[in-house]
Chain A
Amino acid sequence: MINKIWFFLIGCGLIYGVFKGIDMGSVFLNSAGEAYSLLVTMVPLIVLWCGIMNIASESGLLHKFSSLLRPFLRKLMPSVKNDKALDYVSSNVAANMLGLGSAATPFGLKAMKELDKENKNKGVATDAMITFLVLNTSGVTIIPMTVIALRMAYQSINPTCIIIPSLIATFISSFSGLLIDYCIRRKNAK
């Protein structure tokens, strides 16, 4: 997939650009410099945020947060009887909400493994797995730090002004995803 996209963007761009008489050679060379100036601003901020978030995860705050989410998740995934699976699911969702993407993935993979233990039909996704995926991919992130860092790299006057609008949009996305999932499950159960 990624191969096709990369080839498509570069192939189409180069052919069309050369055809239109644009100096594509310098576009090629300039992207390196552009990537550099971008990363110089973004990397330190993201590294800084990882440091802060590590305090949250090692002081037990992340754990506390995920146990607050548990009752809510139990209602969302009524078919899950396995407590360990629910533990991993809530850790994954909590880590995603705090923007700890790299910490979230191992929890997510473990959660899937636990959910698969309840799966009677191996190779076919269960309802709970799908609900979990919807939660994961449409999940609310409280602080979109990468976007803020990128805005800073382009000298935004107010890089953080997107926090609340993003929260509203991402909340609507999660809510509608879960609602659709719930409707499909109810329809299938009939």
Chain B
Amino acid sequence: MLNNYIIPFIVLFIISYGFFKKCDIYDRFIAGAFDGLKIVLDIIPAILAMILAVNIFVDSGLLLDLFKGSKYAEIFPMIFLRPISGNAALAYLSQVYATHGPDSFLGFLASIIQGATDTTIYVLALYFSSIKIKNSRYALWVGLAADFFGILAAFIVVHFFF
């Protein structure tokens, strides 16, 4: 399948470009990986905090009792948390994988939703507060509408690919 060729192709393209531009690709790789490690170390406590909260919430059974009968019970909270906290959505995604498996219908759908949406409210707050914007006008609604269409698209796309 085409999916399997995308990563090798991109990697080959990037390192060939660097190589022929006479860039120290090996050193650049090491430096980038080191920076990546620092970034990951920074977010590990946040991920741990969210995995804890989501585990407690999911394992209590509250959600399943609330949305009894709906096959998307686990997807709803992920959709609500996604615009606010990327780590919370990621913790939910891992819960969906843990209960249904990453290759199940729900696992596939949740993966695409995670890929198609973003932490809209968080980014908006970060960017606007950096230049002291108090009135964001219609920005939030357009951002959330884009996420909504992304989720809608995920529900449609999953039926073609799964």
Residue ranges of A at the interface with B (Cβ–Cβ < 8 Å): 1-2, 5-6, 9-10, 12-14, 16-17, 20, 22, 24, 27-28, 30-32, 34-35, 38-39, 43, 46-61, 102, 105, 108-109, 112-113, 116, 122-125, 129-130, 133-134, 136-139, 141-144, 146-147, 150-151, 153-166, 168-170, 172-174, 176-178, 180-181, 184
18 new A-B contacts, CB < 8 A, other than A144-B111, A176-B145, are: A13-B60, A28-B56, A32-B48, A47-B37, A53-B14, A54-B29, A55-B23, A59-B14, A112-B131, A113-B131, A123-B135, A130-B138, A153-B94, A154-B102, A158-B1, A162-B108, A164-B2, A173-B116
CB contacts (< 8 Å) of A34 on chain B: these are 51, 55, 94, 98
Decide if A59 touches B114 in the complex (CB within 8 Å): no
Decide if A177 touches B146 in the complex (CB within 8 Å): yes
CB contacts (< 8 Å) of B58 on chain A: these are 13
Decide if A129 touches B62 in the complex (CB within 8 Å): no
Decide if B25 touches A141 in the complex (CB within 8 Å): no
CB contacts (< 8 Å) of A105 on chain B: these are 126
Decide if B7 touches A160 in the complex (CB within 8 Å): yes
Given contacts A137-B119, A144-B115, contact A154 B94 (CB under 8 A): yes
Q: Which of A24, A52, A170 lies at the interface centre, i.e. has the most chain B CB atoms within 10 A of its CB?
A: A52
Per-residue CB proximity of B102-144 to A under 8 Å, as 1/0? Answer: 1100011001111111111101101110111111111100110
CB contacts (< 8 Å) of A20 on chain B: these are 60-61
Q: Smallest distance from the beta carbon of B91 to chain A beta carbons, Å?
A: 9
* B154 within 8 Å of A (CB atoms): yes
CB contacts (< 8 Å) of A163 on chain B: these are 3, 6-7
* B81 within 8 Å of A (CB atoms): yes
Decide if B102 touches A60 in the complex (CB within 8 Å): no
Task: Give the 4 A-B CB pairs with smallest separation, nearest first.
Answer: A54-B32, A50-B36, A177-B146, A173-B150
CB contacts (< 8 Å) of A162 on chain B: these are 3, 108, 111-112, 115
Decide if B10 touches A137 in the complex (CB within 8 Å): no
CA distance A60 to B127 in the complex (A): 26
CA distance A12 to B150 in the complex (A): 29
CB contacts (< 8 Å) of A164 on chain B: these are 2-3, 6, 161
CB contacts (< 8 Å) of B102 on chain A: these are 150-151, 154-156, 159
Contact of B115 among A112, A141, A159 (CB under 8 A): A141
CB contacts (< 8 Å) of B121 on chain A: these are 1
CB contacts (< 8 Å) of A51 on chain B: these are 28-33, 36
* B70 within 8 Å of A (CB atoms): no
